[in-house]
Chains A and B, each alone.
Chain A
Amino acid sequence: KQEVTQIPAALSVPEGENLVLNCSFTDSAIYNLQWFRQDPGKGLTSLLLIQSSQREQTSGRLNASLDKSSGRSTLYIAASQPGDSATYLCAVSDNTDKLIFGTGTRLQVFP
């Protein structure tokens, strides 16, 4: 049974820092991995999707990497801003089409 874990559970950093959020999964037979952002009381916004054949994806200040064999992904946020404050979720999908979510990392960036 696939399990997805995210570390740390919460993170508080000053503005401008570069930071790394970690995601690990127990079964490497994934189809893709998706990173989401969730603001309080809001829905999920897809940030990046990495297919199983890819190693990384980049969008602006965000870079996500995938090491399928070791069951790990990282989300790198460069030059963090207060507007980056949110909960970040990673999710993996397998050939059954469902997304299995991690426990989330709650990020706070203070000015």
Chain B
Amino acid sequence: DTAVSQTPKYLVTQMGNDKSIKCEQNLGHDTMYWYKQDSKKFLKIMFSYNNKELIINETVPNRFSPKSPDKAHLNLHINSLELGDSAVYFCASRASGSSYNEQFFGPGTRLTVL
């Protein structure tokens, strides 16, 4: 009965590689997000999608390309990984029609670039 799930949970890779992180939500939400938590534990939004359409892009390098095949999924592909990409990446979702506007977060993917 997982609400927002992410795969993989851990990802260790070499500099220069290309990798993807997947996110799925079974809450019936239509808006999904990617956040990055850096080594100092500071959380910052990267992207948001509503009904598969990109809404927010917070000046993230174009090596990061989100893709939403349907409104239940939002994947994050990263090209040419750099050391500074090491972080925990969180996916979140919410129902845009809800006046409550609460966001629900996944368990995170810890990316380590060597």
Chain A residues in the interface with B (C-beta under 8 A)? 31-32, 34, 36, 41-46, 49, 51, 87, 89, 91, 93, 96-101, 103-104
Contacts and interface: CB of A to CB of B under 8 A. Distances in A.
A42 B48 CA distance: 22
A98 B105 contact: no
Q: Taking chain B's interface residues, is the majority helix, strand, or loop, or is none over half, making it mixed?
A: strand
A96 B107 CA distance: 24
Interface of B: 31, 33, 35, 41-45, 48, 55-56, 58, 90, 92, 99-108, 110
B107 A98 contact: no
A87 B41 contact: yes
Contacts, number: 56
A36, A41, A99, A103 interface centre (most CB from chain B within 10 Å): A99
Given A46-B104, A97-B56, A98-B56, A103 B42 contact: yes
A44 B33 CA distance: 14
B65 to A, nearest CB: 19
Contacts of B56: 96-98
